Amino acid sequence: MDKIFPRACAIRGGCKGKEEVEVAYYSGLTFGVMMTLSFAFVGIFLVGLYVQLKKYGLGASEYGGPGKNSIIWFIATILRMIFSRRLSVLVKTLVLELGLQTRILRRSPLRWVMHLFIFWGWTMLLVFSLLVFLFEIISLGIEHLGMEPAYYLTSEWWRDAVLAIPNDLFGYMLLIGITIAAVRRIVDAKTRAMTEMYDVVLLGGLIIITLTGFLAEWFRGGALLVGDAFVAFAPSAQAMALFHALISLAFCVALIPFTKYIHIIAAPLVILATPTEEEEREHA
């Protein structure tokens, strides 16, 4: 929801005639420190992903056969299974099973809304954050060469002019999705009985991340739906943005391979690699 990096425009909503200011993060964290932390969290994510892939690579190529103990074999097997399917079936699987998650819809419409909103809300917010990050690096690189970057190459333009409304919309989608998840675990007896402290911590982390992102946006003013209702808290916007950025990097990036949220990566691969009943009959 909120911008992770500290460069800010003194005048919102435009570039012409604006004054660029360098803003230090709350508690003295500067852009360089945040960059270091960002790469550190991404490094933890990659190490965790390597550990998970290594675990999967211990499997055998056939039932009862010896373990392969090879990450490369595992990745190659998954890719071979995916690309061995007909293109039309693969596209259909991407759209229906991954994009629209129709498999969950057939089981429960409420769970479908919950999963769809959480999946797309989280995914698109990650994509938007990566775009802002990319153009932050591009603009800094241009400035390092002694030139002024065009406004459309700055993170401010992408954040404020291009992604402001989509960012809020997908943020509200994520908020609705995790709200449904929380309410289900409270009011649904079966779901409540299956809930462990582990699930509470994961869901609680998502709620905190989503709410702090909205609060950081609302405190700055001019936010979708709430306007300037929270602008009185503007002095706390930078502190809230920092907290949101750090907990997002830790919880939604670094810890993914070590929690059940690894299914965000694993589930799409399994769905893409698993043949449909029709394909199995064709190869029988």
Whether the predicted pLDDT of 6 surpasses 50: no
Find out whether 9 and 15 touch, Cβ atoms under 8 Å.
yes
Name the β-bridge partners of 21: 8
Region of 150 please: left (phi>0), alpha (psi -120 to 50) or beta.
Answer: beta
Domain assignments of the chain as residue spans, ordered by start: 8-51+108-266
Q: Which residues of 28-52 are buried (b: 16+ CB within 10 A; e: fewer)?
A: ebebeebbebbeebeebbeebeeeb
280, pLDDT greater than 80: no
Burial of 190 (0-12, 13-18, 19+ CB in 10 A): exposed
Residue 17: which pLDDT band, with cuts at 50, 70 and 90?
very low
Q: What is the 3-state secondary structure (H, E, C) of 110-162?
A: HHHHHHHHHHHHHHHHHHHHHHHHHHHHHHHHHHHCCCCCCHHHCHHHHHHHH
Residue range 63-96, pLDDT digits in tens: 455 556 677 877 887 788 788 877 888 888 888 8
Confidence tier at 4 by pLDDT (50, 70, 90) = very low
> Would you tell me which CATH number, out of the four given (1.10.3470, 3.60.21, 1.10.3210, 1.20.950), belongs to the domain 8-51+108-266?
1.20.950
- pLDDT band at 2; cut points 50, 70, 90: very low
Give the DSSP letter of residue 3.
-
- How much of the chain, in percent, has pLDDT values that exceed 70? 81
